[in-house]
C-alpha cells in the first residue's frame, strides 16, 4: 500500500499492519521509486489516493487538482506498463448540478464554472475517468471506474469537512451540531464495509472491466434529518446550529440539493448492493470514537 498520510492516519492501519498482511510505503503515488517498489509482485491495484473533503478542496485547489491528476496518471502508466488490472475510485461529485432524482452511470454531467473552486474536485476526478478509459481503449488496460457516493464508517476523520463524523463527535460531547446551509440538502450515506464488498465483487467478476459503476446507498436523508437521527441514536443533548455556506466555505459556494445513486448496474453485475441502515452506521461509527 502507498499512502503519503496527508489525510490518512497510520492509526487506522494498526489492525491491518498487525495481521502481517500489509506493507505500507509512505510517500506519494507519483514518486516512481516508491511506486515501482510497491508494485513488485502485485496482481491487482485499487487506486484510492486523492485530495478529498470539501473543506480541503475549497482551501487548496492547486493541491486538489495536481494530486487528483498527477497521481492517477502515474498509476495508470505503471498499470499499463506492467499489465496490472486496476480499479480507480471516482466520485458522485462528477454528476455535478444535475437535477435528476437518481444518478445513472450513462447520465450527462453538469459541472459548475471554474470560478467556483469546489468544481475542481469533480473535474479532476472526471479527467481521471477520461484518462482511464483512454488507457483501456488505446493500451488495452484492464480497468474499472467506480463513482463513490458519501462513504462513511468507523474512524473516518471529520477534519476535511465530512458531515457524519463531525456530527457524531459533536453529539458524543453534547456540543452543538453545526449544519452548513439550511440542512434541507439530502445525501445517501453508504457504510464503508458495503463499499468494500462492492469493490471486491466488481474485481472478482469477468464482465465488469472497462465499465463505470455507482456505489452508494439508495436511502436518502436530509442533513438536518441526519443530525437529528445522530442525536436520537446516541441519546445526546446536542442542539443544531445552522452555519451559512459563505461562513463555512467563502462566498459563491454552490452545493447540490440532492445526490442519490442508481445502483441497478452494480446489482446486475455483482448481485450485491449496499443495505446497511443509517442507524447501524451511526452506532458502529460512534462505537469507534467512544
Ligand X SMILES: NC(=O)c1ccc[n+]([C@@H]2O[C@H](COP(=O)([O-])OP(=O)(O)OC[C@H]3O[C@@H](n4cnc5c(N)ncnc54)[C@H](O)[C@@H]3O)[C@@H](O)[C@H]2O)c1
Dihedral sign for Cα atoms in the order 249, 8, 260, 169? negative
Phi (first) and psi of residue 3, to 5 degrees: -150, 135
Spatial distance between the Cα atoms of 49 and 30, rounded to a whole number of angstroms: 10
- At closest approach, how far in Å is the CB of 204 from ligand X? 20
Closer of 155 and 279 to ligand X (Cβ) = 155
**3 interacts with ligand X by CB under 6 A:** yes
Spatial distance between the Cα atoms of 50 and 161, rounded to a whole number of angstroms: 15
**65 interacts with ligand X by CB under 6 A:** no
| The binder of ligand X chosen from 2, 145, 226, 266 (CB under 6 A) | 2
- At closest approach, how far in Å is the CB of 202 from ligand X? 14
In 3D, which of 183, 189, 184 has the Cα closest to residue 162? Answer: 189
Spatial distance between the Cα atoms of 153 and 165, rounded to a whole number of angstroms: 8
| The binder of ligand X chosen from 60, 100, 150, 169 (CB under 6 A) | 150
The answer to whether residue 121 is catalytic is yes
- At closest approach, how far in Å is the CB of 86 from ligand X? 13
Written as nine digits, the cell of 72 is 492517477
Those residues with Cβ within 8 angstroms of residue 25's Cβ, 6 or more apart along the chain or in another chain: 1, 2, 3, 34, 37, 38
Q: How far is CA 160 from CA 38, 52, 64, 156, in A?
A: 27, 7, 12, 10
Nearest residue to ligand X, by Cβ distance, number only: 8
**212 interacts with ligand X by CB under 6 A:** no
Contact 88, 127 (CB under 8 A): no
**129 interacts with ligand X by CB under 6 A:** no
Identify the active-site residue in 95, 121, 245, 249: 121
**222 interacts with ligand X by CB under 6 A:** no
In 3D, which of 250, 38, 99, 139 has the Cα closest to residue 131? Answer: 139
Closer of 122 and 171 to ligand X (Cβ) = 122
| The binder of ligand X chosen from 58, 71, 144, 278 (CB under 6 A) | 71
Work out the number of other CB atoms within 10 angstroms of the CB of residue 33. 9
- At closest approach, how far in Å is the CB of 45 from ligand X? 13
| The binder of ligand X chosen from 64, 78, 79, 89 (CB under 6 A) | 89
Spatial distance between the Cα atoms of 232 and 278, rounded to a whole number of angstroms: 12
Give, as ranges, the residues between 31 and 50 that touch ligand X (CB under 6 A): 48-50
- At closest approach, how far in Å is the CB of 174 from ligand X? 26
Count of residues that bind ligand X according to CB under 6 A: 22
Please give the positions annotated as active site.
121
Residues binding ligand X (CB under 6 A): 2-8, 28-29, 48-52, 67, 71, 89, 91-92, 148, 150-151
Amino acid at each position: 500500500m502507498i499512502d503519503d498520510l496527508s489525510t490518512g492516519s497510520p492509526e487506522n492501519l494498526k489492525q491491518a499492519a498487525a495481521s502481517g498482511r500489509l506493507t505500507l510505503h509512505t510517500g506519494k503515488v507519483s514518486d516512481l521509486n516508491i511506486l515501482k517498489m510497491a508494485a513488485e509482485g502485485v496482481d491487482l491495484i485499487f487506486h484510492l489516493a486523492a485530495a478529498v473533503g470539501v473543506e480541503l478542496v475549497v482551501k487548496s485547489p492547486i493541491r486538489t487538482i495536481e494530486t487528483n491528476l498527477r497521481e492517477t496518471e502515474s498509476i495508470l502508466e505503471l498499470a499499463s506498463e506492467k499489465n496490472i488490472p486496476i480499479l480507480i475510485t471516482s466520485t458522485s461529485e462528477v454528476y455535478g448540478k444535475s437535477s435528476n432524482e437518481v444518478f445513472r452511470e450513462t447520465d450527462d454531467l453538469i459541472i459548475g464554472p471554474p470560478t467556483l473552486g469546489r468544481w475542481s474536485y469533480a473535474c479532476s476526478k472526471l479527467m481521471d475517468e477520461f484518462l482511464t478509459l483512454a488507457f483501456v481503449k488505446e493500451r488495452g488496460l484492464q480497468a474499472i471506474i467506480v463513482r463513490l457516493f458519501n462513504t462513511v464508517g468507523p474512524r473516518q476523520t471529520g477534519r476535511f469537512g465530512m458531515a457524519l463524523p463531525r456530527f457524531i463527535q459533536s453529539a458524543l460531547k453534547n456540543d452543538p451540531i453545526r449544519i452548513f446551509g439550511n440542512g434541507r440538502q439530502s445525501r445517501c450515506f453508504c457504510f464503508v464495509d458495503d463499499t468494500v464488498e462492492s469493490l471486491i465483487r466488481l474485481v472478482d467478476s469477468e464482465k465488469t472491466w472497462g465499465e463505470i459503476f455507482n456505489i452508494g446507498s439508495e436511502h436518502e436523508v436530509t442533513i438536518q434529518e441526519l443530525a437529528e437521527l445522530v442525536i436520537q441514536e446516541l441519546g445526546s443533548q446536542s442542539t443544531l446550529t445552522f452555519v451559512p455556506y459563505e461562513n463555512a466555505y467563502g462566498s459563491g459556494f454552490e452545493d447540490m440539493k440532492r445526490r442519490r445513486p442508481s445502483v441497478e448496474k452494480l446489482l446486475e453485475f455483482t448481485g450485491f448492493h449496499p443495505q446497511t441502515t443509517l442507524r447501524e452506521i451511526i452506532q458502529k461509527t460512534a462505537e469507534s470514537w467512544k
